């Protein structure tokens, strides 16, 4: 069966001397791997037609009994050349691409995941000092799409609303906030969260567009708190090591 779809290049690896196996993220078929025969030959029709972070129009032969399909044609729709010149944005793109690769199953429709990554890769270049904040916002958007968004308005135990500025503790294991009284009764770890960092998280979780995030000027201390909270939360609920996250954020902070 021949399939035609948009696809974002997630990774590629050599296969023999001249061929490549390319892993793509597609909206209707999820994660797909294709063999591109002769991809590295000088006269290959695929030269320059795909690369990391490209969004492409992909035509491939689907094999129902094998997870490796055969690419027939490929043409780029978005090259995202800016990611080749902004190394911090490239580091962030590498992390979000790795996250999309491991967060979504193969052979399952992942339209929301495709559009999330497509929009994230568009947004990263040129964000400058706000790049960390942009990455955190996209993490929140992904958690929301996966149904794993942290609960940031009320106590998980007693369900009482936590007013802005009130003391609270964040339990990454339970998935949200605990008031001080309930936190004392719960044996699982919960870290105190400063009211200013909590206010930022709440605002970003509600923000429908990136402009709200870009208007936020976070202090280095606030970024450290947000990094730790979201990192612990995602590692626990996605059950991923997220080494790529540590590497990317470490490069962005330099």
**Domain-located, residue 91:** no
Which two three-digit tokens encode residue 26?
């597609």
Structural domain harbouring 15: 2-81
- Determine the Cα–Cα distance for residues 239 and 156; give it in Å rounded to an integer: 21
Q: What is the dihedral of CA 36, 76, 63, 19, to 10 degrees?
A: 10
Tell me: do 52 and 148 sit in the same domain: no
Tell me: do 75 and 166 sit in the same domain: no
What is the sign, positive or negative, of the torsion defined by CA atoms of 141, 118, 104, 253?
A: negative
Tell me: do 55 and 132 sit in the same domain: no
Tell me: do 140 and 220 sit in the same domain: yes
Q: What is the pLDDT of residues 75-103, one digit of tens each?
A: 999 999 999 999 999 999 999 999 999 98
| pLDDT at site 109 | 85
Q: What is the pLDDT of residues 11-51, one digit of tens each?
A: 999 998 999 999 999 999 999 999 999 999 999 999 999 99
**Domain-located, residue 77:** yes
| pLDDT at site 253 | 87
Tell me: do 30 and 146 sit in the same domain: no
pLDDT average, residue stretch 219-243: 94
**Domain-located, residue 31:** yes
- Determine the Cα–Cα distance for residues 203 and 110; give it in Å rounded to an integer: 27
| pLDDT at site 186 | 81
| pLDDT at site 184 | 86
Tell me: do 135 and 74 sit in the same domain: no
Which two three-digit tokens encode residue 112?
């929301």
**Domain-located, residue 235:** yes
**Domain-located, residue 88:** no
Tell me: do 66 and 153 sit in the same domain: no
**Domain-located, residue 112:** no
Q: Are residues 154 and 162 in contact, defined by beta-carbon separation less than 8 angstroms?
A: yes
| pLDDT at site 244 | 95
pLDDT average, residue stretch 200-220: 93
Domain with residue 11: its CATH number is 2.40.50.140
φ, ψ of residue 186 to 5 degrees: the values are -95, 130
pLDDT average, residue stretch 110-132: 94
φ, ψ of residue 157 to 5 degrees: the values are -90, -55
Domain with residue 221: its CATH number is 1.20.1440.120
pLDDT average, residue stretch 70-77: 95
Q: Is the pLDDT of residue 250 over 90?
A: yes
Tell me: do 134 and 227 sit in the same domain: yes
- Provide the number of structural domains found in the chain: 2
Q: Are residues 15 and 21 in contact, defined by beta-carbon separation less than 8 angstroms?
A: yes
Tell me: do 19 and 73 sit in the same domain: yes
Q: Is the pLDDT of residue 60 over 90?
A: yes
pLDDT band at 251 (very low <50, low <70, confident <90, very high): very high
> Residues of the chain with pLDDT > 90: what percent?
81
Q: What is the pLDDT of residues 130-186, one digit of tens each?
A: 999 999 999 999 999 999 999 999 999 999 999 888 889 999 999 999 998 898 888
Tell me: do 199 and 141 sit in the same domain: yes
**Domain-located, residue 57:** yes
170 - beta bridge partners?
Answer: 177, 191
Q: What is the mean pLDDT of the chain?
A: 93
**Domain-located, residue 95:** no
Domain closes at, from 27, 61, 81: 81
Q: Is the pLDDT of residue 122 over 80?
A: yes
Tell me: do 145 and 72 sit in the same domain: no
| pLDDT at site 167 | 83
């Amino acid at each position: 069966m021949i399939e035609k779809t948009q696809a974002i290049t997630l990774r590629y690896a050599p296969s023999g001397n001249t061929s490549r196996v390319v892993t793509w993220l597609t909206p209707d078929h999820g994660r797909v791997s294709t063999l591109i025969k002769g991809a590295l030959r000088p006269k290959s029709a695929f030269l320059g037609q795909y690369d990391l972070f490209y969004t492409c129009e992909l035509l491939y032969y689907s094999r129902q009994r094998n997870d490796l399909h055969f690419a027939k044609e490929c043409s780029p729709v978005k090259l995202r050349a800016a990611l080749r010149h902004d190394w911090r944005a490239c580091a962030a793109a590498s992390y979000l691409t790795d996250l999309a690769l491991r967060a979504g199953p193969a052979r399952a429709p992942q339209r929301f995941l495709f559009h999330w990554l497509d929009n994230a890769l568009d947004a990263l270049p040129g964000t400058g000092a706000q790049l960390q904040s942009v990455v955190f916002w996209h993490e929140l958007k992904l958690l929301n799409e996966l149904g794993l968004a942290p609960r940031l308005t009320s106590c998980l135990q007693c369900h009482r609303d936590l007013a802005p500025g009130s003391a609270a503790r964040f339990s990454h294991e339970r998935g949200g906030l605990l008031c001080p009284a309930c936190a004392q009764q719960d044996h699982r770890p919960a870290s105190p969260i400063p009211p200013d960092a909590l206010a930022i998280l709440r605002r970003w979780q509600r923000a429908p567009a990136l402009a709200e995030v870009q208007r936020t000027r976070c202090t280095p201390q606030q970024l450290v708190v947000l990094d730790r909270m979201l990192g612990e939360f995602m590692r626990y609920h996605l059950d991923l090591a997220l080494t790529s996250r540590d590497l990317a954020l470490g490069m962005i902070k330099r």
